[in-house]
């Protein structure tokens, strides 16, 4: 059994040219030919300036989710680590191209590599962290000597105006409950596309290997109801009802397959519970937060930066602002890909030194799951 596991390469693939705030509706479309009233409000709060879409203007699709992920994986291969050496592929996504086959199967089918072990993780922002932990445990246990983890999203495909127009034809319903319209439109201006891949090996290699010290993940679904969902709707008591509980005509009339966010629950719980989990990790692992050199928090919106700082400080967890590293404003919120994009850019743009520690935080609001990982530069 190996005692150490290392990240030896990180890659990213962002489709097409960056899309500015003013261009978004040229790609996603206007709902019933009307400019969005919510767009500027959401963008003002989230701090995103550019993002990438697997679309052309007018909404024409340019890439599938699996194609984005395969492109990122191919960027890991070089003279040192070749295609035929991969032993395990684990994927994470919130936006697969299909219900089945699994995401990892579809990515594997696009790669020119041998038959290998695969694993797929679905859900929301923590899916690729779950995939990363599966890879880490496989290499740590000696099951494999290497593994590739991917995170990939095509959330723009879910945000096209055509999927919202049928429900929005019922203006009376929306006037009675304007929050309904906002919660369904909110995520149109938050999310974007892209993919990343992480190579994990049982020995340090590459230009700047990172030793994985630990990865901790916790779900609070046992105490909180659903906050973000797709392919479903909530019942009168807050229970989640899957798409098969609705008639086919309701799939469009009620935008059942749109991605929805309960913004009130998000604001109330996402910061608080993430801070509490980190405090428990610090205590259980006897971890000195002062040793962290870089903090990579997955921020869904810049709106949460100050609340996170305040919450951590109140818990006695002080991570100085200058240690924070994010790239939300330039690449957008790419859900489960975001931590990989931050890590790739950190490695590429900072002069990291041996012994420095990197703490990654990934909150997931779907039903409140949180992930933290600690890495050491070798």
> Are 66 and 189 in the same domain?
yes
Residue 335's domain is classified under what CATH number?
A: 3.40.47.10
> pLDDT (tens digit, 0 to 9) for every residue of the chain, 378 residues total?
558 999 999 999 999 999 999 999 999 999 888 898 888 888 988 999 999 999 999 999 999 999 999 999 999 999 999 999 999 999 999 999 999 999 999 999 999 999 999 999 999 999 999 999 999 999 999 999 999 999 999 999 999 988 877 766 554 444 444 444 556 677 889 999 999 999 999 999 988 999 999 999 999 999 999 999 999 999 988 899 999 999 998 888 888 888 888 878 887 888 999 999 999 999 999 999 999 999 999 998 898 999 999 999 999 999 999 999 999 999 999 999 999 999 999 999 999 999 999 999 999 999 999 999 999 999
* 255, part of any domain: no
CA distance 68 to 54: 9
> Are 141 and 60 in the same domain?
yes
> Are 297 and 179 in the same domain?
no
> Which tokens belong to 20?
């500015």
> Are 143 and 221 in the same domain?
no
CA distance 240 to 153: 23
Identify the helix (H) or strand (E) that includes residue 9: strand 6-13
> Are 84 and 193 in the same domain?
yes
Q: Any idea which residue has 């604001």 for tokens?
A: 267
* 137, part of any domain: yes
Q: For 202, phi and psi rounded to 5 degrees?
A: -90, 0
- For residues 163 and 32, the answer to whether their CB atoms sit within 8 Å is no
* 247, part of any domain: no
> Are 194 and 319 in the same domain?
no
Residue 183's pLDDT is 62
Lay out the sheet containing 117-122: strands in order across.
117-122, 88-93, 146-154, 193-201, 6-13, 210-219, 369-377, 357-364, 294-297
**For residue 101, is the peptide bond before it cis, meaning its omega torsion is within 30 degrees of 0?**
yes
Q: At what angle do helices 338-349 and 127-141 cross, to 10 degrees?
A: 70
CA distance 177 to 39: 18
> Are 284 and 361 in the same domain?
yes
> Are 118 and 70 in the same domain?
yes
Rounded-to-5 percentages of helix, strand, coil across the chain = 40, 25, 35
* 265, part of any domain: yes
CA distance 328 to 125: 14
> Are 308 and 363 in the same domain?
yes
> Maximum CA pair distance of the chain?
64
* 264, part of any domain: yes
Q: Strands 88-93 and 50-51: what pairing?
A: unpaired
Residue 371's pLDDT is 98
* 70, part of any domain: yes
How many beta carbons lie within 10 A of that of residue 268, not counting itself?
Answer: 13
Q: How many domains does the chain fold into?
A: 2
> Are 164 and 275 in the same domain?
no
> Are 163 and 270 in the same domain?
no
> Are 288 and 322 in the same domain?
yes
- For residues 135 and 207, the answer to whether their CB atoms sit within 8 Å is no
Tell me the residue range of the domain where 127 lies. Answer: 6-207
Residue 259's pLDDT is 86
* 152, part of any domain: yes
* 248, part of any domain: no
Within the chain, residue ranges assigned H as helices are 24-28, 39-46, 65-74, 103-110, 127-141, 165-168, 171-176, 178-185, 248-253, 263-285, 305-314, 328-331, 338-349
Residue 118's pLDDT is 98
How many beta carbons lie within 10 A of that of residue 222, not counting itself?
Answer: 7
């Amino acid at each position: 059994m190996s005692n150490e596991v290392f990240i030896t390469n990180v890659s990213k693939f962002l489709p097409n040219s960056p899309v500015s705030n003013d261009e978004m509706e040229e790609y996603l479309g206007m709902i019933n030919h009307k400019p969005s009233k919510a767009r500027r409000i959401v963008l003002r709060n989230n701090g995103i300036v550019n993002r990438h879409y697997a679309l052309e203007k007018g909404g024409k699709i340019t890439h599938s989710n699996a194609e984005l992920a395969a492109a990122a994986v191919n960027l890991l291969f070089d003279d040192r680590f070749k295609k035929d050496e991969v032993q395990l592929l684990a994927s994470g996504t919130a936006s697969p191209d299909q219900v089945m086959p699994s995401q990892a199967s579809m990515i594997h089918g696009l790669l020119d590599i041998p038959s290998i072990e695969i694993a797929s993780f679905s859900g929301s922002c923590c899916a690729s962290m779950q995939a990363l932990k599966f890879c880490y445990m496989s290499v740590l246990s000696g099951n494999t000597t290497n593994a590739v983890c991917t995170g990939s999203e095509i959330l723009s495909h879910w945000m096209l105006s055509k999927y919202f127009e049928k429900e929005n034809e019922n203006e009376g319903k929306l006037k009675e409950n304007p929050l309904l319209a906002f919660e369904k439109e909110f995520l149109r201006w938050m999310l974007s596309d892209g993919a990343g891949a992480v190579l994990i090996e049982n020995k340090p290699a590459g230009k700047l290997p990172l030793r994985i010290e630990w990865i901790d993940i916790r779900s609070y679904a046992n105490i909180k109801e659903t906050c973000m969902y797709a392919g479903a709707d909530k019942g009168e008591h807050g229970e989640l009802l899957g798409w098969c509980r609705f008639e086919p005509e309701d799939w469009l009339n009620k935008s059942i397959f749109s991605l929805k966010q309960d913004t009130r629950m998000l604001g109330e719980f996402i910061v608080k519970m993430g801070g509490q989990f980190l405090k428990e990790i610090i205590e259980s692992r006897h971890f000195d937060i002062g040793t962290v050199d870089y903090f990579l928090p997955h921020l869904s919106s810049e709106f949460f930066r100050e609340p996170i700082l305040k919450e951590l400080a109140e818990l006695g967890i002080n991570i100085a602002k200058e240690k924070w590293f994010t790239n939300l404003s330039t690449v957008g919120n790419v859900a489960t890909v975001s931590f990989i994009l931050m890590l790739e850019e950190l490695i590429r743009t900072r002069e990291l030194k041996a012994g420095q520690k990197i703490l990654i935080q990934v909150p997931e609001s779907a039903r409140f799951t949180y992930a933290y990982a600690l890495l050491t530069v070798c």
